[in-house]
Amino acid sequence: MKTNVKTLTLSAMFLALALTLPFITGQIPEIGAMLCPMHLPVLLCGFFCGGPWGLAVGLIAPVLRSMIFGMPPMYPTALSMAFELAAYGAISGLLYAKLPKNKASVYVSLVTAMIVGRLVWGAARFVFAGLDVTAFGLQAFWAGAVTGAIPGIILQLILIPILVIALDKQR
């Protein structure tokens, strides 16, 4: 029972961070959105709370933020992000639970989650564009998933492993 309460509490904290971090990064107009602030708490939730909790927080966070604050816009941005972040949380948590607890496993789980999540985002955006390659094609996918997110990708690759490795030693 204690573990369930702890996991629920941590998941709620990660959800709260996903809702509030964009306010902090939004203060840096040049790269604020490119830092992908909602991704960090969702990935961490997957690592620390497990895949199902990471999936739930990832699915809920962009939709709830859109409903409460109006950002990101619900369609297609928040809905696409919901699928993407759900994949991040689920994959990071499920892989990390199955792999040995070492530095390499953190990176394998993280990079796999980041790749699959971005592919899921692209698939969702493509479906929301009516399966129209002219509305959302490879160039738009590449710009949104990679080139427009380079600062966030770098931040995730640096910060997530440091936090997971450091906090895992505390457990």
- Residue 36: which residues within 8 A CB-CB, separation 6 or more? 149, 151, 152, 153, 155, 156
Q: What is the pLDDT of residue 1?
A: 46
Q: What is the pLDDT of residue 156?
A: 97
Q: What is the pLDDT of residue 2?
A: 59
Q: Could you list the pLDDT tens digit for every one of the 171 residues in the chain?
A: 457 999 999 999 999 999 999 999 988 877 888 999 999 999 999 999 999 999 999 999 999 999 999 999 999 999 999 999 999 999 999 999 999 989 999 999 999 999 999 999 999 999 999 988 888 988 999 998 999 999 999 999 999 999 999 988 776
Compute CA 66 distance to the chain's CA centroid, rounded to the nearest angstrom: 16
For tokens 């990176």, name the residue: 107
Compute CA 61 distance to the chain's CA centroid, rounded to the nearest angstrom: 9
| 10 within 8 A of 54, measured Cβ to Cβ | no
| 128 within 8 A of 141, measured Cβ to Cβ | no
Q: What is the pLDDT of residue 133?
A: 85
> Dihedral through CA 112, CA 114, CA 117, CA 121, nearest 10?
-140
Spatial separation of the C-alpha atoms in residues 39 and 57, rounded to whole Å: 10
Spatial separation of the C-alpha atoms in residues 165 and 169, rounded to whole Å: 7
Spatial separation of the C-alpha atoms in residues 13 and 154, rounded to whole Å: 23
Q: Return the CATH class of domain 2-26+34-170.
A: mainly alpha
Question: What pTM does this model have?
Answer: 0.94
Spatial separation of the C-alpha atoms in residues 63 and 38, rounded to whole Å: 12
